[in-house]
Amino acid sequence: MPKTIRNIIIVAVSALVAVFVLANCFTIIGAGHTGVVLTLGKVNEEVLQEGIHIKIPFVQRIVKIDNRIVKLEVNTEAFSKDLQTVATTLAINYRVDTAKSYSIYKNIGASYEDVLVVPAVNEVLKATTALYTAEESVTNRSLISEGLIKGLNNKLNNIGLFVTDVNIINFDFSEAFINAIEEKQVAQQQLLKAETEKQTAITNAEAAAETTRIKAQAEADANNKIKASLNEQVIRSKFYDKWDGKLPQAMGSDSVITNIDGGAYSE
């Protein structure tokens, strides 16, 4: 029995060792990743793509690099063109070029985000915000984002890092600057209100003057039409229509009476 048990233990241990060795002969690279091969600590230029790969057990080690788009949030400060402190929160989307995975790991290691990306974000942000005043930074977020993407890619593309998007989550300024902006906005609103009221008054005055002019013109046109229609014949006709048939009476020896036909006689 002791010998049989010993043989069973030997077989079991051998099987476990064989399974362990066999398991270390293969590696699986998941979707969106590449594998950097280290042979006795030396980085190979060959990069393993997605799938199952054979490796030399205990001699080779595989470091998996995530080549999918990674989101990085950075909190930093910079100065605007008018020397205002701008506290900024950025969301950076970037990815590692699959062909450069080995060189990035070889030259920088697995902490390439802290060593390369974050410092580059700080540097490019400072250079970009210095082009705008604090107030312009608020109204030109899209231009600043585009400038950050361009600047970061100029610094990182040769290394093998590609920035795909930059979102400005927040701009934060000093309390004094915020109060100054609020006061300026209030002043602008008051000025706009005054200009609107002035323009309304001018419009109303012009409308009233135009109404008066039109009314006066209409009355003048009507009077001219009436005047043009009142010739001697029309006036005489109106007189006949209203005459009661009696001649006018006048006192005095030297009185002259004009008749309706335009003649005159003495009494």
Q: What is the pLDDT along the chain (267 residues), one digit of tens a residue?
A: 566 777 677 777 777 766 666 667 888 888 889 988 888 888 888 888 888 888 888 888 888 888 899 999 999 888 888 888 888 899 999 999 988 888 888 888 888 899 999 999 999 999 999 999 888 888 888 899 999 999 999 999 999 999 999 999 988 877 777 676 667 777 777 788 888 888 888 888 888 888 888 888 888 877 787 676 666 666 666 666 665 666 566 555 554 445 545 444 444
**28/89 same-domain check:** no
Interatomic CA distance for residues 80 and 135, integer angstroms: 9
Domain that holds residue 78: 70-173
pLDDT score at 260: 47
Compute CA distances 121 → 82, 133, 156, whole Å.
21, 19, 10
Give a yes or no: residue 227 inside a domain. Answer: no
Q: What is the CATH number of the domain that holds 83?
A: 3.30.479.30
Interatomic CA distance for residues 260 and 267, integer angstroms: 16
Where is the domain boundary, 37, 65, 93? 65
Interatomic CA distance for residues 239 and 125, integer angstroms: 98
Give a yes or no: residue 60 inside a domain. Answer: yes
Interatomic CA distance for residues 88 and 85, integer angstroms: 10
Number of domains in the chain: 2
